[in-house]
Amino acid sequence: MIKRSISLILFSFLLLVRLSAGEGMWLPLLLRALNEKEMKSMGMKISAEDIYSINKGSLKDAIVHFGGGCTSEIISPQGLLLTNHHCGYGYIQSHSSIEQNLLRDGFWARNHAEELRCEGLTATLIVRMEDVTAQVLDGVGPTWKENDRRNRIDENIQKIKPRIVRLEDQDVFIRGFYNNNQYFAFVTEVFRDVRLVGTPPEAIGKFGADTDNWVWPRHTGDFSLFRIYAGKDNRPAPFDPANKPYVPKHFLPISLKGVREGDFTMVFGFPGRTNQYLTREGARQMVEVLNPVRIAQRDRALKIMDRKMRADAGTKIQYAPKYAGIANAWKKWIGENLGMRITGGLDRKAEQDSLFQARVSADPRFAPYANLVADLEDRYRRLEPFAHAREYYLETFHRNLDLVDFYQMVSGLINTYEGRGEEAFDKRRKEIRDLATAYYRDVNMDIDQEIFVSLGKEFYANVNPAFIYSHFRDLLERHGGDMDRMAAELYSSSLLTRPDALAALMDKPYAEWIRAVREDPVVKFYEEMKFYLDSDLNRMCSGFEDEIAELRRSHMAALIEVFPERRFYPDANSTLRVTYGKVEGYYPKDGVHYLNQTYLDGVMEKYVPGDYEFDVPKKLQQLYREKDYGPYGENGKMPLAFIGSNHTTGGNSGSPAIDAHGNLVGLNFDRVWEGTMSDINYDRSICRNIMVDARYILFIIDKFAGASWLVDEMKLVGLNKKLRKRK
Ligand code: ARG
Ligand code: ASP
C-alpha cells in the first residue's frame, strides 16, 4: 500500500513536470493566479497585467478574432492587421480573376484609397471576460438529463445576456469551459469594415503549398495585411468609404532582434477546438475509426481535383481554396495518427485512465467516480458503428461535394415558405438566385460528378448495408449497380446543376416552384437521405453522444478534484487564450534532429522553375543573389521561419508569437506533422508550432514589394536605423 502511494505520488509529479513547459491554452484573466510565476521563470519580462487588463491598454487589445476562424493582430496605430496568407485567402481570391490575379501576383495598396473592401469579413476585439457559472447553472439539478440541462442553460443565458454591463454597440456571448463545468461571458466589439491592404504572391505566401503544409523545415511567407476601419468616434460601423482607420488601445511593436534556442515565446490567439482529456477509448475511436474514413475519402476527392487544377489555370483559381481546405484537414489527420503511433499516444491515455482509477479506488470520497471511465468506454463502443457510418455519409455526400450546397439553398427556401409564408419566400428566392450565380463561379459540375462517383463507390463498398438508406440502394439498382450511370443521370437531369435552369426555377412562384423542386432527382436524393439520417442514424448517434457529453463533464470535474496538485487548462473553444513555450528544435525520428530556424537559402534549395508549388519569383531570387536584405538579415542570411513548443491548434493561425518583452517576433501559421496530435495528446518531445519570422515579413513588404509606407507606420524595435536608410 505504501509502495503504491509512493509510485502514485511520483507519477503525478511526473505529470506535473510534463505539463510545466509548453502544454496548455490558458485563460488570459487567470494568468496571474496560474501562470505568471512560471512564465517569468521561463524568461518573460512583462507581467500578467500587461497581457490582460481591463483597467489599461494591454496586449489583449491588439489581438483580433479574424473572420471567426483565424487570429490577427494590430501592428500599427492605424489599425493595420497582420494575419496569415491562408486566413486572408478567400478574400484575396474573391478579388482575383484570370486578368487580375491577386493570388498569383500579390497585391499592395499604395495608399488607403487603394485598400480593398472585404464583404462579410469581421474583426472582433475582446473587451472583457467574466465568470458567469453560477447564473448559467442556476436551477440546474446535478442529475438532470443532458437535454433538460441544455434547455435550462439556454434559457438562463438569454436572461443573463442583457444584464451584462456593456456599451450599446458591444456584443456579448457566453461559452462553456472544462466540458461545460464553467461558463464565461465575453464582451466584444465587432468591426465590419475590414479591407485588404497587401499580400505577397502565392509563390511566397503559399510557397510549398500542400506538399510542405504541416511540415518542418518550412519556407512559407504565410502572411497578409488588412486594416480595420471605424466610424464616428472610432466605434464599429458598417462599411462606408468615409470610415477612418481604427485607432487601437494597443498595437504590437515588432522586434527585429530575432530568436535563439531556449528563448521564451508566447502565442496569443483564438484556438478552435481540442480534446485533451479524452479517455483512451475516445481517442481510439478518433484515431482508429473516424480518421481512417476521413483520410480515405479525401484521398480520392483530392486526387481528382489536383489532376484538374494542374491541367487548367481557370480551374486552379476556382478550386484552390476548396482544395486547400479539404487537403489541410486530410493531411492533419494523417499526421495525427502518425504522432499517436510514434509516441504511444493510446498507451499514454490508458496510463492516465488507470492513474485516475487508482486514485478513485484509494479514496471512498471518490466512489461516485468509480465507473466513469468504464461507462465512457461502453458508450463509445455502442456509438462506434453509428459514428462510423455517419462519418461516411458526411465525407461522401457533404464535405467534399458542391452539389449539397445547392440542395441546401433549396431546402432552406422550403423552410422559409413553411415558416414565414409566401412573401418571405419571394424575397428570399430572388436573393438565392443571385447567390447561386456567384456560387457557380467556383464550381465545375463535371469535377463534382467525378468526385461523387469515386466517393460513392467507396461508401457503398464500406458502409454496413444496414446503414445505407433505401432510396440510394433502389436508385443504384435501377442503374444496374453502376455508380457512374447513376451519377450521370442525377447530375444531368437535375435543375440544381445548371445555372440557367436554377435561375429559371428561382423565377417561379411557390406553387410552380415546389412542384419542380419535388420532382428534382437531386433534391429527392438529399431529402430522402436527410429523412433517414434525422430519423435514424443521427438520432442514434446523438443519443449516445448526449450520454458521452454528460460523462465527459463529470469526468472533467472528477479529474480536477482527484488531482488537486495538477493545473488544468480548459480545452480550446474558439475563445482568447495564451499559450507559452520556448523556441526549440526537436527529434522527429531516430537519427534526425530538426533545428529551430530556417533561412531564405531553403527557398532556393526547394526551387523548381515553373512548378505549381515551388516556383520562386524572379525578384526574390535577385534579392537573394545580391543578399539585399536591408536591416532585416542576420549575418548575411535572411531568417524565414522558426519553431517552438507553444501549444497551438487550428484557429491560432495568424496569432502573434510574442517575445519576453511583449514585442511581435513571429506569426504563427502551422504545426509540425508529427505533432498535430497535440489536439488530443500534447507531447512536448515532438509538438511544435511553426511561425514566420517577423524579419521575413518586413523584408517582403519593404524590399520585395517596395511598400515601405506600411513599414513606416509600424513601430520597430532593435532597428539599425542607418541600415534602413541605406536600403
Ligand atoms: N496547416 C495550416 C493550418 O491548419 C495551414 C493551412 C493552409 N495551407 C495550405 N496549403 N492549405 O491552417
Ligand atoms: N494552420 C492552423 C490554423 O489555420 C494552425 C494549426 O492548426 O496549427 O489555424
pLDDT of residue 15: 44
Residue indicated by cell numbers 524595435: 717
Q: What is the distance in A from the centroid of ligand 2 to the CA of 98?
A: 29
What CA–CA distance (Å, rounded) separates 349 from 353? 6
pLDDT of residue 725: 53
Residues designated as active site: 86, 222, 653
- Name the nearest CA neighbour of 335 among 205, 477, 216, 179: 216
Give the orientation angle of helix 521-532 with respect to helix 470-478, to 10 degrees: 140
pLDDT of residue 724: 56
- Name the nearest CA neighbour of 81 among 90, 96, 91, 71: 71
Of ligand 1's atoms, which has the minimum distance to the CA of residue 328?
11
Nearest CA to ligand 2 atom 4: 653
Give me 251's grid cell: 498595437
Kindly state if the Cβ of 70 falls inside 6 Å of ligand 1: no
CB 178 within 8 A of CB 195: no
pLDDT of residue 387: 98
Kindly state if the Cβ of 222 falls inside 6 Å of ligand 1: no
CB 137 within 8 A of CB 150: no
- Name the nearest CA neighbour of 238 among 91, 122, 90, 82: 122
CB 529 within 8 A of CB 397: yes
CB 649 within 8 A of CB 572: yes
- Name the nearest CA neighbour of 432 among 452, 411, 448, 450: 411
Residue indicated by cell numbers 468509480: 370
Give me 359's grid cell: 486514485
The count of residues in the chain is: 727
What CA–CA distance (Å, rounded) separates 689 from 669? 8
Of ligand 1's atoms, which has the minimum distance to the CA of residue 89?
7
pLDDT of residue 159: 96
Please give the angle made by the CA atoms of 463, 400 and 459, to the nearest 5 degrees: 15
Q: What is the distance in A from the centroid of ligand 1 to the CA of 84?
A: 10
Give me 617's grid cell: 519569383
Nearby residues of 321 by Cβ (< 8 Å), 6 or more positions away: 89, 90, 93, 442
pLDDT tens digits, 302-350: 999 999 999 998 998 899 889 989 999 999 999 999 999 999 999 999 9
Of ligand 2's atoms, which has the minimum distance to the CA of residue 689?
8
Of ligand 2's atoms, which has the minimum distance to the CA of residue 332?
7
pLDDT tens digits, 230-259: 999 999 999 999 999 999 999 999 999 999
- Name the nearest CA neighbour of 486 among 523, 449, 439, 527: 449
Nearby residues of 402 by Cβ (< 8 Å), 6 or more positions away: 443, 445, 448
DSSP assignment of 127-152, as one string? EEEEE-HHHHTTT--TT--HHHHHHH
pLDDT of residue 8: 39
Kindly state if the Cβ of 209 falls inside 6 Å of ligand 1: yes
Nearest CA to ligand 1 atom 11: 324
What CA–CA distance (Å, rounded) separates 472 from 331? 30
DSSP assignment of 593-644, as one string? EE-SEEEHHHHHHH--TT-TTT---HHHHHHHHTT--GGG-BTTB-EEEEEE
Residue indicated by cell numbers 464599429: 236
CB-CB neighbours of 430 under 10 Å = 12
Find the DSSP H helices in 312-371: 313-342, 345-362
Give the orientation angle of helix 291-311 with respect to helix 313-342, to 10 degrees: 150
Helix (H) or strand (E) holding 63: strand 63-66
pLDDT of residue 348: 96
What CA–CA distance (Å, rounded) separates 615 from 608? 5
Give me 239's grid cell: 462599411
Best probe residue, ligand 2, of 210, 652, 692 (max atoms within 8 Å of C-beta): 652
Helix (H) or strand (E) holding 439: helix 403-440
- Name the nearest CA neighbour of 343 among 690, 688, 681: 681
CB 227 within 8 A of CB 194: yes
Kindly state if the Cβ of 711 falls inside 6 Å of ligand 1: no
CATH class of 1-122+192-274+569-727: mainly beta
CA distances from 665 to 253, 256, 263 (A): 9, 7, 11
What CA–CA distance (Å, rounded) separates 675 from 581? 15
What CA–CA distance (Å, rounded) separates 606 from 593? 19
Best probe residue, ligand 2, of 671, 676, 679, 680 (max atoms within 8 Å of C-beta): 671
What CA–CA distance (Å, rounded) separates 201 from 96? 12
Q: What global pTM score does this model have?
A: 0.91
What CA–CA distance (Å, rounded) separates 221 from 600? 10
Enumerate the CATH 2.40.10.120 domain ranges in the chain, comma separated. Answer: 1-122+192-274+569-727
- Name the nearest CA neighbour of 401 among 331, 541, 300, 504: 300
What CA–CA distance (Å, rounded) separates 664 from 671? 19
Q: What is the distance in A from the centroid of ligand 1 to the CA of 330?
A: 11
Strands 107-108 and 193-199, by their bridges, are antiparallel
What CA–CA distance (Å, rounded) separates 464 from 540? 15
What CA–CA distance (Å, rounded) separates 152 from 138? 8
Nearest CA to ligand 2 atom 7: 650
pLDDT under 50: residue ranges of the chain:
1-20, 722, 726-727
Of ligand 1's atoms, which has the minimum distance to the CA of residue 214?
1
Bond into 217 cis (ω within 30): yes
Which string of b and e fits 174-205 if b means at least 16 CB within 10 Å?
A: bbbbbbbebbbbbbbbebbbbbbbbbbbbbbb
pLDDT tens digits, 665-698: 999 999 999 999 999 999 999 999 999 999 999 9
Nearest CA to ligand 2 atom 2: 650
Which ligand is the nearest neighbour of the Cα of 650?
2
What CA–CA distance (Å, rounded) separates 96 from 413? 30
DSSP assignment of 240-261, as one string? -TT-EE---S----EE-S---T
pLDDT of residue 515: 97
- Name the nearest CA neighbour of 664 among 634, 696, 635, 688: 696
CB 524 within 8 A of CB 411: no
Residue indicated by cell numbers 484552390: 320
Give me 547's grid cell: 450520454
pLDDT of residue 721: 59
Best probe residue, ligand 2, of 648, 674, 682, 690 (max atoms within 8 Å of C-beta): 648
pLDDT of residue 437: 86
What CA–CA distance (Å, rounded) separates 383 from 386? 6
Ligand 2 binding residues, C-beta < 6 A:
648-653, 669-671
